[in-house]
Structure 1
Amino acid sequence: MKRCDWCGSDPLYMDYHDNVWGRPVTDSRDLFAKLCLDGQQAGLSWITILRKQDSYYKAYDDFNPEIISTYDQDKVDSLLQDSGIVRNKLKVQSIIKNAKGYLAIENELGSFAQYIWSFVNHKPIINEWTSMSEIPTTSPESDAMSKDLKKKGFSFVGSTICYAFMQAVGMVQDHIIDCPSYQPCIEESKRFKL
């Protein structure tokens, strides 16, 4: 049995594949952070963001939406000088916009996690792919999530980013069936409760 091809032989990437990717995430703040980080990878490889992940948590106050939503121009300017993150003005501003959207969802619905998981009817979608070539890059669920998040003021949340996010947080189980992480992730998915 071998891992899904996408993680290659980089130890950081293999650890992420084995212990994070596809494991259901239920914490609202963790989901917010992951969605923001997935947005940062637009036009880049995920390993680039993974290597900068700790710097992102430090730069963005542990992805605390209440704090991020108050960032002013001085803070934006400071972030644009931070070599530990991707220094792209639109991407920096997107996390601030997303924090405001997160707070609005929490205010309206009470739980960002409940909102996010509603796109899969609060139950992980379990796929049974035999090769990487079968795995899609979008789905009707990611299309719906993307459309609604944009309506709520989020940015860098296209359908492809939303699908990658859904895979990462276990909303969609896309390890190939021969991967050693497939069965553990399936078991976690079956025990899933929000």
Structure 2
Amino acid sequence: MKRCGWVKLSDPLYVEYHDKEWGKPLHGERELFELLSLECQQAGLSWLTVLHKREAYRGAFGNFDISFCAALRDEEIEKILQEKNVIKNRAKLLAIRDNARAALEVIKEFGSLDFYFWNRVDHHPLLHSIPHYKEAPCHNELSDNLAKEMKKRGFKFIGSVTLYSFLQAAGIINDHEDDCDFKS
């Protein structure tokens, strides 16, 4: 089986993530919000680090229920900061709450996060030709413009590179390598 070159074959969780999640069209409020939140946690770290902490984040943040996250108080964030398997960065943890609040406003205006993101690509994934993963862009015009807009809407830890990574992972942009068996 041929996979993208970035997959660490020695880590079964990473292999499973690539094979079953990464680049597959993702829909649903909770699912998109979870992915966006985790991508924001990745800033300055490896995705593998965040992936191994995902279950702890799900437990700490009410399975990424947007209303639950938006209602978190500062003292609850402080408690989460003490948990064993979350990244010990107060600003990143507060960003999950702040982004949930911004997401609720987006949902109010656009009807859903799904529509908000997928409408940017006419509800069809952008398919790029990627001979080797190191040739994939780290941002594009879509991620540049969307990051600017989202920052104006109050989202935190959302730069163009982070957003491009989110768009790839959510399948909005398909950057599987050309010879990867999971490119569709």
- TM-score class normalised by the smaller sequence: over 0.9
Residue 121 of structure 2 aligns to which amino acid in structure 1?
V
Instruction: Return the TM-score normalized by structure 2.
Output: 0.96
1:159 maps to which residue?
Answer: 160
Question: Would the aligned equivalents of 2:102 and 2:155 in 1 still touch at CA under 8 Å?
Answer: yes
Q: Which residue of structure 1 aligns with residue 4 of structure 2?
A: 4
Percentage of pairs with the same residue? 38
Q: Do the aligned residues in 2 keep the contact of 1:119 with 1:144 (CA within 8 Å)? A: no
Matched to 1:147, the amino acid is K
Is 2:101 aligned against 1:121?
Answer: no
Q: How many residues align?
A: 183
Residues 118 and 124 of structure 2 are in contact (CA less than 8 Å); yes or no, is this contact kept in structure 1? yes
Structure 2 distance, partners of 1:99, 1:174, is 27
- Aligned partners of 2:126 and 2:174 also within 8 Å: yes
Task: Provide Cα deviations, 1:33-63, integer angstroms capped at 9, x if missing partner.
Answer: 1001000000000000000001110000011
Aligned 8 A contact 2:139 2:161 in 1: yes
Output the amino acid matched with 2:8: G
In structure 1, how many angstroms separate the alpha carbons of the residues matched to 2:72 and 2:29?
20
Shift in Å, 1:108: 1.6
Tell me, in whole angstroms, the C-alpha distance in 1 between the residues paired with 2:110 and 2:130.
34
1:53-79 deviation digits (Å, cap 9, x = unpaired): 011100000111111111112101101
- Which residue of structure 2 aligns with residue 28 of structure 1? 29
What is the CA-CA distance between 1:145 and the residue it aligns to?
1.3
- Residue of structure 2 in register with 1:98 after alignment: 99
Report the AA paired with residue 83 of structure 1.
K
5+ residue gaps, structure 1: 187-194
Which one-letter code corresponds to 1:43 in the other structure? G
Summarize deviations over 1:139-173 as a string: whole Å, max 9, x none: 10111111111111001110001000001010011
Structure 2 match to 1:180: 181
**Is contact 1:80–1:92 with CA below 8 Å preserved after alignment?**
yes
C-alpha distance 8-46 of structure 1, shift in aligned 2 (>3 A)? same
Query: Is the counterpart of residue 148 in structure 1 residue 135 in structure 2?
Result: no
Verify the 8 A CA contact 2:23 2:171 in the aligned structure 1: yes
CA distance in 1, matches of 2:111, 2:174: 26
Runs ≥4 in structure 1, deviation > 4 angstroms? none
Q: Which runs of 5+ in 2 are unaligned?
A: none
What TM-score comes out, normalization by structure 1 length? 0.91
